[in-house]
Amino acid sequence: MKIQEEIENLKKGLKEAVKEFEIKPIIKEQGVVESIEEGIASVRGLPNAMFYEVLKFENDVNGIVIDISDKYVRAIILENKTVNINTPVYRTGHIMSVGVSDELLGRIIDPLGKPLDEKPKIKTHTYYPVERDAPAIFDRDFVKEQLYTGIKVIDTMFPIGKGQRELILGDPGVGKTSIAVDTILNQKDKNVICVYTAIGQRKQNILDVYSTLKKYGGLDYTVIVSASSDQPLGLQFLAPYSATAIAEYFLDKGKDVLIIYDDLTKHAFAYQSLSLLLKRPPGREAFPGDIFYIHSRLLERACKIKDGGSITALPIVETQAGRISSYIPTNVISITDGQIYLDTNLFNINQRPAVDVGISVSRIGGKTQIPALKEVARFLRLYYTQFLEVEIFTKLGVKVFGETAQIIKRGKRLRELLKQPKQKPYQVEEMIVIFFLLNEGYFDNIPQEQVNDRADFILKAVKEKNPYILADIKTSKVLTKEIKEKIKEFVGKL
């Protein structure tokens, strides 16, 4: 009897569940692959497809719509998998986006957000579109605070502000990536999130960057977005936009973000190849007509937000034989707020970092320097430029006297002080002390080859015996008369 009651209750429950159950049809718009060539698929039968919409091909392969015509749409295949002709393609209705969360920190991902480091899957509940309008002018604030690279020549002569876009350019193998990596390492304990984007690089180069960041503790606050040279052109094109979307996630949380694009030359070549495959009309140097726009709409997303965070962009561009007047370098120079040019000749004579002081410039960063740094750095570039102009006389065997001899003496010592090994960042207080002593003539009578050793000895002694000097500079941000006297008195006793 009890069993019969249970059966009747079960029947009743099932009948009620069936009444409440509602079948909703799922409508999918399906197309067919008409042709495919070098990672570009032509698809017919998707009249409502949107630009940058994600399409699903066979074997769960993703693609994004990059071109729309009245007969068909063309999509970039984003994975190294085979897509066959006459196979179905489905619309997803989703514009290309990347999953974002704090779990991205310390990870290597591809532009689709998939982990590449064999660690656990990244949990993301929020998605940011890879293409997003740059913040409106009314939402932006002035660049007010300096982002310190830890590199003496840059922080003193070509300061970079939080929210600025500063280009790094030079020939292959002159240390462009090293400057970017050292800048990331210098953000340790400075509450700055870093995003490093590798575009078209060899896998070994990307692993080297990863190993360096891991060794020196820079990986904890860094996301690496990798689209190596063996990955599809579509991923290489997408990489900087995905990386910027990740940076915008942290920006919206009120964080300061540093993003590195390494490098935009390879990004331009990837887009050039895609455009030629799409049979778009080639222009100068076979680049498509909108090559400027793909970089301007990317870099305009770097900014300082009112009462919020910032995105500081350091794009890298590669030159050939020092030709900064070629197409891509001039394009990016005109978009950014300054450039740091690395010269091959300086690199070959062991001037590291090989920054060309004459060509490099920072158009807005000078306003961000604290008064103490601005005071000691005010005339450094002038001194160095004057030194380079008169140094040629000594190479010709001409004897120089008086003021010219003094310019050469101090210029040589300044050049030595600007040399700096990799992974050895200097704090701003340390730079202020060293260049204050240079301006005071302290290094004038020290042999040129001993200048850096003497500077390091002074800084070590200050840290160990009188750290209050550095603390006072850091707190007051001004090189007061009392601080100057303390520095002179302390160094005079060494």
Burial class from Cβ neighbours inside 10 Å (0-12, 13-18, 19+) for residue 262 reads buried
DSSP classification of residue 133: P
- How does DSSP assign 77-90, residue by residue? E-SSS---TT-EEE
What's the CA angle centered on 392, arms 386 and 396, to 5 degrees? Answer: 155
| Residue-level pLDDT at 80 | 85
Q: Under CATH, which number does the domain 99-369 receive?
A: 3.40.50.300
Residues taking part in catalysis: 363
Q: How far is CA 304 from CA 5, 147, 243, 247, 334, in A?
A: 70, 12, 17, 13, 19
Cis-peptide into 353, omega within 30 deg: yes
Enumerate the domain spans of the chain.
Answer: 30-95, 99-369, 374-492
Mutual angle of helices 380-395 and 402-418, in 10-degree steps: 110
Looking at residue 29, what DSSP letter applies? -
Fold classified for 374-492: Lysin (1.20.150)
Full pLDDT tens readout for the chain, 494 residues: 567 776 677 777 777 766 666 666 556 788 999 999 888 999 998 988 999 999 999 888 999 999 998 888 999 999 888 888 999 999 998 999 999 999 999 999 999 999 998 888 898 889 999 999 999 999 999 999 999 999 999 999 999 999 999 999 999 999 999 999 999 999 999 999 999 999 999 999 999 999 999 999 999 999 999 999 999 999 999 999 999 999 999 999 999 999 999 989 999 999 999 999 998 999 888 999 999 999 999 999 999 999 999 999 999 999 998 899 999 999 999 999 999 999 999 999 999 999 999 899 999 988 999 999 999 998 888 888 888 888 877 776 667 677 887 888 888 999 999 999 999 999 999 999 999 999 998 998 899 999 999 999 999 999 999 999 999 999 999 999 999 999 999 998 87
Fold designation for 30-95 = Elongation Factor Tu (Ef-tu); domain 3 (2.40.30)
Sequence-distant (≥ 6) Cβ neighbours of residue 420 within 8 angstroms: 151, 152, 153, 352, 353, 426
What 3-state DSSP class applies to 70? coil
**Beta partners for 68?**
73
pLDDT attached to residue 394: 73
pLDDT of residue 379: 83
State how beta strands 256-262 and 146-147 pair. unpaired
Q: What pLDDT is recorded for position 290?
A: 92
Question: What pLDDT, on a 0 to 100 scale, did the predictor assign at position 397?
Answer: 67
**Two tokens, residue 72:** 């068909």
Question: In this structure, how many other beta carbons lie within 10 angstroms of the beta carbon of residue 308?
Answer: 17
Q: Is 8 exposed, middle or buried (0-12, 13-18, 19+ CB in 10 A)?
A: exposed
* Beta strand spans in 61-161 (E): 62-68, 73-77, 88-95, 97-100, 108-109, 126-129, 146-147, 160-161
